[in-house]
Amino acid sequence: MPTPLPDDVAWRLLESMLLIRRFEEAVLRMSQEGQFRGHYHLYIGQEATGTAVMSVLEPRDRLNSTHRNHGHVLARGAEPGKAMAEILGKATGLIGGRGGTIHLCDPDLGFLHTSGIVGGCISLGVGGGYACKQKKDGSVCATFFGDGALEEGVSFEALNIASLWKLPVLFMCENNSTGSWAPGEGYPTLVHASTDLRLIPQSVGIRTMRVDGADAAAVREAVSDAVARCRRGEGPAFIEAMTKRWPGSNPLWPEPATGVTDIRIATGETQAGGAHKDWIENHDPVLRLARALAGGGNDARTRLYALDAAVKARIDDAVNFAIDSPLPAPATAFDHVFA
């Protein structure tokens, strides 16, 4: 059992997790309204992982992210309006509308790159760690990737190099494969001959930990330990954060399978129902932390509802900002090919 979070930390983490949840619900709604094009990936069900990692990292640290990046950039503190504008391809987006949902990235916050190429992130993270080590400033590079990234050969090369050279890299593996694809649908990612992904980094001598990725306290504890070791020069660490796949992610395109999250489920004022009752009651990381905090009595319940209302208002503002923002001028398409 992880050490319980201090109250103020827990509320802070919950706010970040709620922000991600309400953001993703808005993205899903806007996609269904046809507000943007292209394939996209939501972070619902994994909010605790990204939020807890960011709560440990310092401003000097570096990161990189994947196709499933919305939660990472928001938890690190990116402006939700700019993130939403990026998804709509607007000029005010984090990267001017050039990347869209798959490439949300805020270089001001230490993001090196957000790659949609599976295996791209884990390997570039090693370069980030190399830079941190050269700088000798005690910084680390946290690199996020899914279980699928370990199917790519370059991941092995990256792990080997990081271990050989004792690079300060936090390999943050988000394993959301617990819950399966329907046959013939979606990406066939469940294709590891190994039944324990930790064996792969272990084979090159990297320290590994496995945590419940829906438990913010557990992730925070594991990451604190791993990052401290990285800073001390003990080399890379690998954390496998396990989450039960959000039912809305099972089909090819995200679907509102669990509806708009009703925060009152956390206080018992409403009951979870429907086909995905089990996921909502037992695996939803936002409701899980909210439930733990709301147990603190009437004041806590009032605080929870007020927090949710404030977060919703922030997301409404973000959506309006994004919708009202201009598209980039066509002539700017030719800018920045070279730095």
Partner 1 sequence: MAKQSYAQALVDGIYDSLAADDRASMIGSYVLGLGPQRNLMDRIREDFPDRIVDPPTAEAGAAATGVGAAMAGMRPFVDLGTGSFTYLAMSQITNEAAVSSYMSNGRISAGVTFHLLHGVRGGGAAQHSHSPQSMLCNAPGLEVVAPYSAADAYGLVRAAFQSQNPTVIASHAKLLGIETEVPDKKSVVTIGKADVKRKGRDVTIVANSLMTHYSLLAAEQLARDGIDAEVVDMRTLVPLDEETILDSVKRTGRLVVVDECPLRCGIASEVSASVAEHGFDLLKAPIARVTRAHVPVPFSLPLEEAITPDPAKIAAAARKVMKNG
Chain residues binding partner 1 by CB under 8 A are: 36-39, 89-91, 93, 96-100, 102-103, 115-119, 148-149, 151-154, 184, 187-189, 191-192, 252, 327-334, 337
**Single-letter amino acid code for the residue at 165:** W
Binding to Mg ion, residues 36-65 (CB under 5 A)? none
DSSP states along 112-140: EEE--STTHHHHHHHHHHHHHHHHTSS--
- In the bound state with ligand TPP, the residue whose beta carbon lies nearer, of 81 and 148, is 148
Q: Which does 41 bind (CB under 5 to 8 A by kind): Mg ion, partner 1, ligand TPP, none?
A: ligand TPP
- The least CB distance from residue 70 to ligand TPP, in Å, is 11
φ, ψ for residue 141, nearest 5 deg: -115, 125
The token duo for 133 is 């080590």
φ, ψ for residue 244, nearest 5 deg: -85, 120
- The least CB distance from residue 102 to ligand TPP, in Å, is 8
Please state, in angstroms and rounded to a whole number, the distance separating the CA atoms of residues 146 and 208.
15
- Among residues 117, 154, 204, 300, the one that binds ligand TPP under rule CB under 6 A: 117
DSSP states along 50-73: HHHHHHH--TT-EEEE-SS-HHHH
- Among residues 149, 172, 214, 218, the one that binds ligand TPP under rule CB under 6 A: 149
- In the bound state with ligand TPP, the residue whose beta carbon lies nearer, of 164 and 190, is 190
Closest CA to 53 of 201, 207, 241: 241
Convert 23-47 to b/e letters by CB count within 10 Å (16 or more is b). Answer: bbbbbbebbeeebbeeebbbbbbbb
- In the bound state with ligand TPP, the residue whose beta carbon lies nearer, of 127 and 235, is 127
Binding flag, residue 249, Mg ion (CB under 5 A): no
Q: Which does 68 bind (CB under 5 to 8 A by kind): Mg ion, ligand TPP, partner 1, none?
A: ligand TPP
Site string for ligand TPP, 265-304 (x = CB under 6 A): ----------------------------------------
